[in-house]
Amino acid sequence: MIRNIGSPFGPLITPMATPFQDDFSLDLKATERIVDHLIATGTDTIIVNATTGESPTVEESEFKILFRFVKDKANGKAKVMAGAGANSTAKTIKLSQIAQESGAEGLLIVTPYYNKPSQAGLVKHYQEVAKNVDLPIMLYNVPGRTSVNLGVEATLEIVESCINVMALKDSTGSTDQIAEISSKVQKNNFWVYSGDDYLTLPFLSVGATGIVSVAAHLIGRSIKKMIECYFQGKYDEARKIHYQCLPLFKGLFAAPSPTCLKYALEKTGLCKGVLRLPLIPLNADEKKKLEAIMDKSPIDVPQPALSV
C-alpha cells in the first residue's frame, strides 16, 4: 500500500501554461510572471511543456529555451519537471534526454496517443524510457485525450520493474482504479496524484498525495490549504474549500483546455490569452460564463485585470 505523504514533488504540482506573444512566439516576460506567481501561491513543482502548456504545438528548439528559462527563474524555490511524452517511444526518449540535460528534476510521460498500444506495449514503452534516463518519472494516464487507459496490472508492472518510476498522474476520473493501484503498489517511494482538480479531495481519501492542478494558476493558495486541511484531519474545512472551488474546477474545462485558462490568465494580468491553432479563443458567451465563475472564486491575483 502506498503512502499519502512524502512525495519529493510536494502536494501541489502545476502544469504551467505557455505564454505566447501576438505573433505566437514565446513570451518569456509573461513566463517569468507566471513562474513567480505560482511559487508565491503554493506550487511545489512546475511542469513545463505539459498539455496545459500546449505541448503539441511547442517545437523542440522552443522547449529547450522555455525549460531552461523556467528552471533559471524558479531558482530552487520550486522543482521543475518536463512534459516529455510523445506517441513514439524513440521521440519520448529523445525529449526526456534533452530535459535531463537541461536540468529537469523529473519527467511527466503521457501514454502514447493515437496509435493505441496494447497494455503490453505500454509496459514496454515505459520500461524503455525509464532505462534511458536517470530522472524520476511520473506516468500520465489520461484516456480522454489518448484513447488508451493504462490499466491497473500494467501500472503495477511498470512501477515494480522501473526503479525511477515514482509517481502517477491519474486523469481517468475513476476513484476505483486509483484505489486499487494505491492498495496494491508494494514499493514505498511511489505516489499518486489526481489529474483532475475536481477529484483532488476524493482521490486523497483513497491514497493520493496531491494534485497536478490547472486551477492552481488561479487559486493555488486555496488548493494548498484544502490539501493541508485534509492531512491535518480537518475534513469539514477541506470540504468547505472544495465546494467553494468546485465551480472554477469545472469552469476551466467548459471548453478545450487550456482555452479557458488562457482567457482567465489574461483577465488576471498574468499573460495574453494567445493560443496556437488548432485551439481558438473562447467566444463571447463562453467568456461571460467564465467571468461569472471567476467573480465568485477565491482568485489569488488582484482584480481588475493588470496590463499585459
Q: How many angstroms separate the CA atoms of 255 and 77, rounded?
A: 32
Please report, as a single letter, which amino acid is at residue 49. Answer: N
This prediction has a pTM of 0.96
Rounded to an integer, the average pLDDT of 81-104 is: 96
> According to the model, what pLDDT value does residue 304 have?
39
For residue 5, the model assigns a pLDDT of 83
Residues 6+ apart with CB under 8 A from 72: none
Summarize pLDDT for 218-236 with one digit per residue, the tens.
999 999 999 999 999 999 9
Q: Which listed residue (71, 73, 79, 169) is catalytic? A: 169
Helix (H, G, I), strand (E, B) or coil at 234: coil
> Is domain 12-255 annotated with CATH 3.90.1150.10?
no
pLDDT, position 307: 44
| Euclidean distance between CA atoms 164 and 106, whole angstroms | 10
Band of pLDDT at residue 306, cut at 50, 70 and 90: very low
pLDDT value, residue 293:
98
Question: Residue 1's closest CA among 159, 165, 210?
Answer: 159
Q: Which three cell numbers stand for residue 249?
A: 474546477
Q: How confident is the model at residue 301 (pLDDT cuts 50, 70, 90)?
A: low
- Known active-site residue 230: no
Question: Catalytic site residue 169?
Answer: yes
Whole-angstrom distance, CA of residue 204 vs CA of residue 88: 33
Catalytically annotated residue among 126, 140, 230, 263: 140
Q: Which pLDDT belongs to residue 3?
A: 73
Distance CA(201)–CA(129), nearest Å, equals: 31
* 249-254 average pLDDT score: 98
